[in-house]
Amino acid sequence: MSHAWMPSSPCGDGCVGGTPPLAGRIRQVWRAVAAVTAILCGALIAFALLLPARHREGVVRLWFHAVLRAFGVRLRVHGAGKFQEVPGRGVLVVSNHVSWLDELAIDAVQPIRIVAKKDIRSWPVLGPLVTAAGTVYLDRENLRELPRTVRELTAALRAGQAVGVHAEGTTWCGLASGRYRPALFQAALDAGVPVRPVVLRYRIGGHVTTQPAFVGDDTLAASIRRVLRLRGLEVEVHVLDEIAPGRAADRRALAKLAEQQTTRLTSTELEGAPSTGDSHRPHALAPLLP
């Protein structure tokens, strides 16, 4: 059941446009086979749990990277190579949300616990994949679930984990974006940990593209087919500076700080930033909670 503060986006099917370069039919089939194979190999990742923590994270990260590449997507990381500046100290990673590829890209940088809508758990293939990564599921239609989710995130952060949230609350096309919702920022305040803003950008031929966007009435199957057909798709993960504890008095101020830090990353800066790996804002929505 929807409510007045439920996240929504004006982005729809019309936002996914243009005539991008397409891969050949044989390559598309090969990618589909490679992607399924890479995902099925994820069952072997269970053995990584037996490894020491420093080795376990590396194995899981490489697996997500392999799945991303199987879909024909190249990863480029700008800024810090990891989300946790201090090993063993919790950090709330907040990012924009464009596509189902977002989780793969984030975990390919550093495997973290992601907060996602409960619908993802029932997705074929990708559902078990993100569930195995320790995803925390949120029922966006039930506001009474928010306090429980915040408590769960707070406990994880106090335990020294990195936890990720898509701060806009729903997907946008990648050109337009929404305001950051403050509710889940409360976990960082309660745990006394920093916030790490992250910006995701999808490009083809050096230009931002909306092709990977998962918006409007798009189905998961249609979105996957569209990604498999693309040639030269890259996802950029811009890891920005941490926001230290104590810089904001409440969750609304903290969400605003994170949003301002991401908006400073102008289109010109995105074009010129150095990489370490293989916008305009026409719409704005009210915060999740008053």
Q: Residue 11: its pLDDT value, please?
A: 84
Q: Residue 175: its pLDDT value, please?
A: 83
Residue 53 lies in a domain: yes
Check which CATH number belongs to the domain holding 258 and give it.
Answer: 3.40.1130
Measuring CA to CA, how many Å separate 290 from each of 81, 183, 252?
35, 9, 9
Q: Residue 143: its pLDDT value, please?
A: 66
Q: Residue 4: its pLDDT value, please?
A: 44
DSSP letters of 81-133?
SSS-SSTTS-EEEEE----THHHHHHHHHS--EEEEEGGGGGSTTHHHHHHHT
Question: How many other C-beta atoms lie within 10 A of the C-beta of residue 238?
Answer: 22
CA distance 134 to 215: 24
Domain range for residue 171? Answer: 21-270
- The number of domains in the chain is 1
Residue 11 lies in a domain: no
Q: Residue 3: its pLDDT value, please?
A: 45
Q: Residue 134: its pLDDT value, please?
A: 66
DSSP letters of 71-84?
TT-EEEEEE-SSS-
Q: Residue 120: its pLDDT value, please?
A: 65
CA distance 281 to 263: 9
Residue 173 lies in a domain: yes
Residue 125 lies in a domain: yes
Residue 105 lies in a domain: yes
Q: Which two tokens stand for residue 117?
A: 């809508």
Q: Residue 84: its pLDDT value, please?
A: 93
Q: Whole-prediction pTM value?
A: 0.85
In order along its 290 residues, the chain shows pLDDT tens digits of 454 456 677 788 888 877 899 999 999 999 999 998 988 887 676 666 666 666 778 888 898 999 999 999 999 999 999 999 888 899 999 999 999 999 999 999 998 988 877 666 666 666 666 666 667 777 666 667 788 889 999 999 999 999 999 998 888 888 877 889 999 999 999 999 999 999 999 999 989 999 999 988 888 889 999 999 999 999 999 999 999 999 999 999 999 999 998 887 754 454 444 455 553 333 322 222 22
Residue 280 lies in a domain: no
Q: Residue 279: its pLDDT value, please?
A: 35
Residue 29 lies in a domain: yes
CA distance 203 to 212: 9
| Burial call 253-262: b when 16+ CB within 10 Å, e when fewer | ebbbbbbebb
Residue 165 lies in a domain: yes
